[in-house]
Structure 1
Amino acid sequence: MKRFALTVAAALMAMPVWAVEIGDDGLHKEPFFHDTFKDMREDLAEANAEGKRLVLFFEQRGCIYCKKMHEEVFSDPDLNAFIDENFFAVQLNLHGDTEVIDFDGEALSEKDMARKWRVMFTPNIMFMPEEVPEGLSAAEAAVVVMPGAFGKGTTNDMFTWVLEKRYELDNGEDFQRYHARRISERANGSTE
């Protein structure tokens, strides 16, 4: 009995502190995800009304890279709070059947919208501008797409780069240069 109790105690101590919730659709759920009707114009309007940026997360059931992002990146309380405070995040299922209405008015299932927007891998994070011109799709309007799983530093830098609208600046510092500078600053302990 004593051995069993020690085994249970050791197992509990080995469990990760951050428990990632899995929804009925098999996708990881974060507190910063908004459950919407997936009408992109409505979601953009709601994001703007809240003073946030619209960001779309494509994921799929069983995605080991999505799991890695949720367990190792979004588990950071500061990053999670930063995203929640500044972004209106909508999760989409790469193989889902829920209807999505694109900015151009076309209504398709999540899986067909993924094909239209050329989303092939997960996770895939699409950052939207505050205004989308009439007739453009989300893929055409996105200010940047973050395809794949990245570490905390890269993810934080991408969200910050978008929030600061650095993609609009003509200062020669694209994301790669911005990220390299931020890595150097973190290494030197001189982050902003």
Structure 2
Amino acid sequence: MKRMIAFAGVLLLALAGPAAAAEIGDDGLHKEDWFSITFKDVAEDIETAADEGKRLVLIFEQRGCIYCRAMHEQILSDPEVSDFIKANFKVVQYNMFGDEEVTDLDGDVLTEKTAARKWGYVFTPTIVFLPEEAPEGVSVAEAAVATMPGAFGKWTFLNMFRWVHEKGYEGDEHFQKYHARIINELREAGRLDAE
């Protein structure tokens, strides 16, 4: 039992990484200055993203989430990752337990926490990729082209954004096969960081 507890502690420290000074908002969530602040009307946000030549991504986080902190400090702080996301996606942050008003694609007006429940999101971070055009009469969960529940390393994280950007969900190459192919290409090029 002691070994299991010690292992869990080491794993948590490894996931949390070095304690960097991350900006924390009043809601307790880590903030990126390039995240978009909107009225959280998902159809409107999809349209605004499209007008900017981007895709909409919703990211669910919660206060005190060590995986969210690791994502901000280790993944989103990497210019290769953040530059790609900023160039191609409009990111709107949601608080898994927040009370801000959200308008779902089907017209339901909810709070962030009831939206998370309705859409079935239970892990933080959860990253939700929306289609290029807002469909009518369906929820966000039904409209999402991909969902990334939980925290991952740099290449899995970045490759998911690339796969969605390339509309891999419309093709025959499943994300896992796409990711394996990219990892092999990175390995052959000598660019592979520890994943």
* TM-score, normalised relative to structure 1: 0.87
- What's the CA shift string for 1:27-46, capped at 9, x where partnerless? 01112210000000110110
Is residue 55–residue 88 contact of structure 1 (8 Å, CA) maintained in 2? yes
Gaps of 5+ in 2: 1-17
User: In the aligned structure 1, how far is the partner of 2:138 from the partner of 2:29?
Assistant: 28
Give unmatched runs, 5+ long, in structure 1. Answer: 1-15
Percent identity, aligned pairs only, is: 61
Q: For the Cα contact (< 8 Å) 2:130–2:140, is it kept in 1?
A: yes
Distance 2:31 2:74 in 1: 14
| Count of aligned residue pairs for this structure pair | 174
Q: Which residue of 2 aligns with 1:7?
A: none
State the distance in 2 between where 1:152 and 1:189 align.
17
Moved over 3 A (4+): 16-19
1:3 maps to which residue? Answer: none
Deviations 1:81-106 (A, max 9, x none): 11111100000000000000001100
Q: Give the AA of the match of 1:64.
A: I
Separation (CA, whole Å) in 1 of partners of 2:174 and 2:62? 30
For 1:7-156, what aligned pairs fall within 5 Å after superposition? 19-156=21-158
- Report how far residue 132 of structure 1 moved: 2.9
- The equivalent of 1:11 in structure 2 is none
Letter in 2 for 1:123: P
CA distance in 2, matches of 1:38, 1:182: 34
CA contact (8 A) 2:47 2:134 kept: no
Paired AA for residue 167 in structure 1: Y
**3-state secondary structure, aligned to 1:33:** coil
Q: Secondary structure at the match of 2:135?
A: coil
Tell me how far apart the structure 1 counterparts of residues 71 and 190 of structure 2 sit (CA, whole Å): 26
Question: Equivalents in 2 of 1:42, 1:26: separation in Å?
Answer: 26
Give the superposition deviation at 1:156: 0.7
Distance (Å, rounded) in 2 between the aligned partners of 1:63 and 1:95: 12
Q: 2-side partners of 1:132 and 1:42: how far apart?
A: 8
Q: CA RMSD in A?
A: 1.5
Distance 1:136 1:162 in 2: 20
- Check the 8 A contact 2:130/2:144 in 1, yes or no: yes
CA deviation map 1:94-151 (0-9, x unaligned): 0000000001100001000000000111000000001232101100000000000001
